[in-house]
Amino acid sequence: MMEKSRGKILWVDDEIDHLKPHILFLEEKGYTIATCANGRDGISLSKEIVFDLVLLDQFMPGLDGMETLREIKENNPALPIIMITKSEEEWLMDEAISEKIAHFLIKPVNPNQIFMACKQVLEKIKIRSEKTTSGYLQEFQKIELDIEDSVSFNDWWKIYSRLVKWQLDFDEQKEPSLNQILNEQIQTSNRQFTHFVQDHYENWVSGTDSPNLSTDIFSKFVQPILEKNEKVCLLVMDAMRLDQFMALYPLLAENYSIRIEPSSSILPSATPFSRNAIFSGLFPEEFCRKYPDQLDAMVEDKGSLNQLEHIFLKDQLARTGLVDKSLHYHKIWMVEEGQKFQSRVGEYLNMDLLAIVINFVDQLAHRRSESDVLKEMVPDESGYRHAVRVWYENSWIRSVLAELGSAGYKVVITSDHGSIMVNRSSMVAADKHSSSGVRHKHGRNINANDKSAIDIRNLDTYKLPSLGHQHNYLLAKDDYFFLYPNEQHKYKNMLKGSFQHGGISMEEMMVPIFIMDPK
């Protein structure tokens, strides 16, 4: 039985007769080789036969290599081309790179060099897939053991970071069976992580063995930069998860050197609590006590509950002895607002502190739950990562960060919390005055199954405000979401498979802090 070819290669070179040893070597390695001695014949043959790769010389009679390349690409834009030429001219390299060649080799080349280049172009996806598969299966048991042995937040951060690494690797491989194993391991991790948080969170808020919390973002990472009389931008990407941050890392690293610090959202892992904690440097009970207007807004539970962030941040500057530092705060919901900010960013470059809040990621999650089209475009967590990356690649904030870097700003990027895809519903017994959260609820003596929720009644130990008589909080565990009995079927179908926040999970609570120095 004839062995399957490793790939069909077209080699175009006016000295093709001198390359027979190289051709025989590639054929022995399993490739099928077709040859042409000039560009015009190469173009014609590439239209008649489907090739996997083209090897192309630059200096040939008639059409040269670059002209041949452009015509071949016009017929088949996806066909990879390796240029093999005697020329070391930089202009030719620039031209070839601009035409997106797969490799540039300078003669003389030995057969092994050409073989390695062909192998990399034609088989890199297969090789990476095999290595990724074997690598994860080898590490699976190590992660399971580390889950059992984890005793600190840093232990959990390392576990979740490794799981996120595999998520990003699997995004390229499209292996459904492996994704299922990884998702099950993340679910197992979340169950154990929930127990860990229940055992340690009260100590964290009292300052014992606590990780970096939402309340520490300014004092630990922004304040030291200001005290050195350096300019800094605090950028809060609402509801962005660790995996989404890591998907953006290569793009952010184009203009900045990045140091990553771990942190945890406070509870509930929801914007009225955790983002207000970032800007105030206070826990919810503390900022509600200090700012009666904030307490009134949270009791009413209507409209935006983050209207005082600018005041919170100004007061935090004053409390830390930085009252003389100039500040510009900007919250951006819509693309038009962002583009307007981009056009005027030059007006703010004299500010000591720029604070920017961007709501795109959170809005995408909310709009997705309401739109069948978006559910098709963002079907799962991998799709969510891809959507966030595509948004950032084309967004106004990418240009703003480049300009801030050029102006010498250091940038601290973080989020108030992440989100988790919810799949299981849990009924809540509550009156009509209870809050509307999907992963967290508060109200008068509200109840849910212990399997699906943590019931917080001693509010002081979590530093949560009492928002009414006999008030308690419910925080969802694992991938549960809360429903009220009325219209439960309607909301169950609407919310299942959506991205929500407010509860306890690695995805919601484990938030990176990117400290970025301009290159």
Its domain, for residue 387, covers 212-418+508-518
283, 161: one domain: no
Residues 351 and 437 in one domain: no
Q: What is the mean pLDDT of residues 176-203?
A: 93
Tokens representing 254 are 């184009």
* Same domain? 54 vs 167: no
Q: How many domains does the chain have?
A: 4
Rounded to 5 degrees, what are φ and ψ at 430? -160, 165
Examine the pLDDT at 231 and tell me if it is beyond 90.
yes
**Residues 334 and 389 occupy one common structural domain:** yes
CATH number, position 61: 3.40.50.2300
Q: Is the pLDDT of residue 286 over 80?
A: yes
116 falls within a domain: no
The residue out of 204, 230, 249 marking a domain boundary is 204
Same domain, 354 and 434: no
Flag whether 408 is in a domain. yes
Give CA–CA dist 72/49, Å, rounded: 12
pLDDT tens sequence across 445-461: 999 999 999 999 999 99
pTM: 0.85
Sequence-ordered list of residues with C-beta below 8 angstroms from that of 339, at least 6 positions apart, any chain: 396
Instruction: Indicate whether 394 and 267 sit together in one domain.
Output: yes
Cα–Cα distance measured from residue 504 to residue 510, given in angstroms and rounded to the nearest whole number: 10
Q: Is the pLDDT of residue 200 over 60?
A: yes
Question: pLDDT, tens digit, for every residue of 466-511?
Answer: 998 889 999 999 999 999 887 788 889 889 999 999 999 999 999 9
Which of 305, 274, 271 shows the shortest CA–CA distance to 291?
305
Of the given ranges (57-66, 86-95, 224-233, 398-407), which has the lowest mean pLDDT?
A: 86-95
Q: Average model confidence (pLDDT) for the chain?
A: 93
Is residue 2 domain-resident?
A: no
Domain match, 325 and 376 both? yes
Domain boundary among 204, 223, 248: 204
The Cα-based distances of 45 to 51, 75, 96, 333 in angstroms read 9, 11, 21, 54
Q: What is the DSSP track for 200-221?
A: HHHHHHTTSS---BGGGHIIII
With beta carbons less than 8 A apart as the criterion, state whether 73 and 99 touch.
yes
Question: Cα(131)–Cα(133) distance, rounded to whole angstroms?
Answer: 5
pLDDT at residue 261 is higher than 60:
yes
Kindly state the tokens that stand for 327: 């500040």
At 172, the amino acid letter reads E
**Are 498 and 368 a contacting pair, CB within 8 Å?**
yes
Q: Please check whether residue 123 lies inside any domain of the structure.
A: no
30 and 98 share a domain?
yes
Residue 208 has pLDDT above 70, yes or no: yes
In a domain, 478, yes or no: yes
Q: Which pLDDT belongs to residue 3?
A: 61
In the three-class reduction of DSSP (H, G, I as helix; E, B as strand; rest coil), residue 408 is classed as coil
Separation of alpha carbons 52 and 115, rounded Å? 14
* Alpha-carbon dihedral 324, 326, 332, 335, rounded to 10 degrees: -170
Same domain, 450 and 314: no
Whether 134 is in a domain gets the answer no
Residues 383, 322 within the same domain: yes
Closest CA to 182 of 246, 234, 135, 115: 135
Residue 130 lies in a domain: no
* Residues present in the chain in total: 519
Which of these three, 67, 90, 109, is where a domain ends? 109
| CA-wise closest residue to 451 among 476, 428, 423 | 476
User: Is 475 within 8 Å of 503 (Cβ atoms)?
Assistant: yes
Question: Does one domain contain both 358 and 442?
Answer: no
Close Cβ partners of 188 (under 8 Å, ≥ 6 residues apart): 144, 147
Question: Do 240 and 166 share a structural domain?
Answer: no
Cα 451 from chain centroid (whole Å) = 30
In a domain? residue 138: no
